[in-house]
Chains A and B, each alone.
Chain A
Amino acid sequence: MMHTPPENRPAMRAPMIVFDRVSKNFGDLPVLRDINLTVSAGEVISLIGPSGSGKSTLLRCVNHLERIESGSITVDGDLIGYRRVGNLAHELPEKLIARQRARIAMVFQNFNLFGHKTALENVMEAPVHVLRIPRKEAEEQAVKLLTRVGLSDKMNNYPRMLSGGQQQRVAIARALAMKPKVILFDEPTSALDPELVGEVLDVMRDLASDGMTMMVVTHEMSFAREVCHRIAFMEGGRIVECGKPAEVLDSPAFERTRAFLSRVQ
């Protein structure tokens, strides 16, 4: 692959996503506990861990789809969802949160393509109606992106006429159309038939080699090993350990990581 192997990655890069002592509860249930994590610009980090360990919630906090109870999350230096005044953090009005979200893309397990719009319209929708880019320009960009993910012949199809793998590639093109600073992937291949997983992972690999900052919740251990710079193992709302793929996957420091890996591999 084109992209820089994890070992040779430049040591110091600007921090892109910073979780600082992040905690969150759902009612009485603590779902995230004291999360500290810095994702550098251009880094690809994969989140693994058992179901219910808080991986999705962690991603959803990054674009303020979920509120956090304490701590802070910044993306490219911007405090997410709040405005800091001394030691107080005032929640931003919806418009400003929406503006922050526009640069933080998210790719879902179930694709969530807009069912009433064609592939092309799905990719154009937010650039035209959120970023206010002229239609023509947005369309040219959308054509380019759909071609990049290998769907130049499916642009006028509605989602229900696309396979799962094709839908997910449209969803990635739709995310890219916002020129995001980071892309959050929540189990992007879990809903796909096994033979369709590869085409989606190929597109993600391509993005990684392009230097996109990505957080990827996945069960694809070979993808995590080959493409990700680091792997974070979560359990019970904590990041139990985090390191280079070889370290975490081959010689985990914790028994719980070892137990999880022996179950999925």
Chain B
Amino acid sequence: MSIATQDDQAPTGSGQSDEPMLTYVPARAWGTRAAAVLLSLAVVYFLVSIGGNANFGWSVVGEYLFDARILSGLYLTIWLTIVTMVIGVVLGTIFAVMAMSRNIVISTVADAYIWFFRGTPVLVQLIFWYNLGALFPELSIGIPFTSWGMSVPTNTLISPITAAVLGLGLNEGAYMSEIIRSGLLSVDPGQRQAATSLGMTSRKALWRIVLPQAMPVIIPPTGNQTIGMLKTSSLVSVISLSDLLYSAQTIYSRNFQTIPLLIVACLWYLLATTILSWVQNRIERHFARSRNAST
């Protein structure tokens, strides 16, 4: 509108000089184009040399890609990833809130938890939980220092799968609590104050006001953690659980087709990672809507 008005007042040709108007030609960036061409050639060469190499055993890959053992290993890997991440997020939220508590005992306990579980190898933690029975032959529920309660042998309670869930979940909780804490700290304290002054309890203010706004900070590293967990979960082979990688190993220890079976495992890991990245992307977009909305 305003441009048209200006044009009306200043008809064409009344500019500063009589020279014709310039036509702009964008820079061609020859260097970038050359690099792109070279890169394409390299990629094609790479793919051809892998695909055409009989030593990779592509027919074996095809043969085992949908093998029942591989699929059940894949199922366990995905199941472990989901369950331990859910535990990690729940524990992480609890410990993040505890770590920010003004009560010194509560925040110290949370800090100690984070310190311990981040400070020790998760492999050791898994073995520890698996061997809990050696340390505490019986586990009991009851009131401490009284005779009231019941107890069961530890080994009936801690199966390999329980040990895996405990080990990976508790470890993940420590990492997630740091991620969630930094998310909570990224939200302006004024938000919590406004919520409180409107009559929200601190719990309601956390759930409805602070956490949703912490999400854009929390989600990307959580996506990273989930993808990391997909592969970290392969550590459970040390407590004789048959996850995806361990299933592949079991098979190639018999038929010696090491590389093809590792490729099978990697193809499934890649597929799972791709799906997870896509899900992460959708969640990020959902929580970013108040930032990008253009009404």
Contacts and interface: CB of A to CB of B under 8 A. Distances in A.
Interface of A: 63, 65, 94-95, 98-99, 101-106, 108, 110, 112-118, 125-126, 129-131, 156-158, 160-161, 171, 174, 178
7 contacts: A65-B197, A94-B201, A98-B199, A158-B290, A158-B295, A160-B290, A161-B294
B291 interface: yes
Given A117-B290, A161-B293, A94 B202 contact: yes
Contacts, number: 77
Contact of B200 (A108, A112, A117, A129): A129
B191 A129 contact: no
A160 B295 contact: no
A125 B293 contact: no
A105 B198 CA distance: 7
B209 interface: yes
Contact of B190 (A99, A101, A112, A131): A112
B285 interface: no
Dominant secondary structure at the B interface? helix
A102 B293 CA distance: 30
B208 A125 contact: yes
B44 to A, nearest CB: 46
Interface in B180-237: 188, 190-191, 193-202, 204, 208-209, 212-213
Contacts of B196: 65, 98, 101
Nearest to A158: B290
B197 A63 contact: yes
Contacts of A126: 198-200
A115 B191 contact: yes
A115 B290 contact: yes
**Centre residue among A116, A171, A174 by max chain B CB count within 10 A:** A116
Interface residues of B, number: 24
B190 A95 contact: no
B201 A95 contact: yes
A65 B196 CA distance: 8
Nearest to B216: A116
Contact of B198 (A94, A95, A118, A125): A125
A125 B198 CA distance: 9
Interface in B238-295: 287, 290-291, 293-295
B200 A130 contact: yes
Nearest to B215: A116
Sort A-B residue pairs by CB-CB distance and give the 4 closest, nearest first: A102-B199, A112-B194, A126-B198, A112-B190
Given A108-B190, A112-B188, A116-B212, A101 B293 contact: no
Contacts of A116: 212-213, 287, 290
B295 A161 contact: yes
B213 A101 contact: no
**Centre residue among B190, B194, B195, B293 by max chain A CB count within 10 A:** B194
A98 B204 CA distance: 11
A117 B195 CA distance: 13
Contacts of A95: 201
B6 to A, nearest CB: 25
Nearest to B189: A112
A103 B199 CA distance: 8
